[in-house]
Amino acid sequence: MQRFLFLLILCLATIAQARQDPDVVKRVVEDFLHVQTRGLPGQASFTVGMIDSHNNLAPCPALEAFLPAGGRPWGRISVGVRCQLEGGWSLYVPAQVKVMGDYFVTAKPLARGQAIAAGDLARRKGDLAQLPSGIVTEESQAIGKTLSISVQSGQILRSDILRAPFVVQQGQSVRVVSRGKGFQVAAEGKALNNAAVGQVAQVRTASGQTLSGIAKADGTVEVGH
């Protein structure tokens, strides 16, 4: 009987030793998050959740951490860890990433189409991971842009409600320029649509021809030759 108990204890000890060390998995996740959060705005910090110490996973010397498809490295997330050996396993580890940094809200009500100036912005500080995606974190991301909607005072600014100002406006007279090697041709026309710098503008010339070109910062439209 004693021999049987001894063998049973030895067997259980061997099984316990064959389990994947959760501390190793945690270090892999931490190293991964250090890299993933390096380029985020603000000061990033994270905590990694508990990993079952009684797991039945075989020890693996080739672990790789990853984010699930569509995952982003902030907020409450799950980080995948896989064993890269043939017949390996995978598991998901809960983690929370905080990113403390500056963001901007409107300092007063602003109308749709209004160009944003520095006085229209108010700086706030908080956990960016808890805010909507695409928030404005630098003044330069908003100043000079116009709003696509009207907003109230204190509204968080997001890039999806901002657009570059139009340098070409529908109905205005514009100069159309065509450049080639050693020559330049210019004509006047009427803009058929609004366009910001770099966007396509359509222009109808005096002859009735419709041309498409790229809106430039000076308000001209450059067409290819």
pLDDT tens figures, 120-144: 999 999 999 999 889 999 999 999 9
pLDDT score recorded for residue 14: 46
Of 164-168, 182-186, 201-205, where does mean pLDDT reach its minimum? 182-186
Q: Which helix (H) or strand (E) holds 204?
A: strand 200-205
Task: Classify domain 100-163 by CATH number.
Answer: 3.90.1210.10
Whole-number mean pLDDT of the chain? 88
Q: Using pLDDT thresholds of 50, 70 and 90, give the confidence band for residue 208.
A: confident
pLDDT score recorded for residue 5: 47
One-letter amino acid identity for 183?
Answer: F
Question: Which residues face 174 on adjacent strands?
Answer: 189
Spell out the domain ranges in the chain.
18-99, 100-163, 166-223
166-223: CATH architecture: Roll (2.30)
Q: Using pLDDT thresholds of 50, 70 and 90, give the confidence band for residue 55.
A: confident
pLDDT tens figures, 73-96: 999 999 999 999 988 999 999 999
**pLDDT higher than threshold 60 for residue 188:** yes
Q: Is 19 left (phi over 0), alpha (psi -120 to 50) or beta?
A: beta
Residue 144: strand, helix, or coil: coil
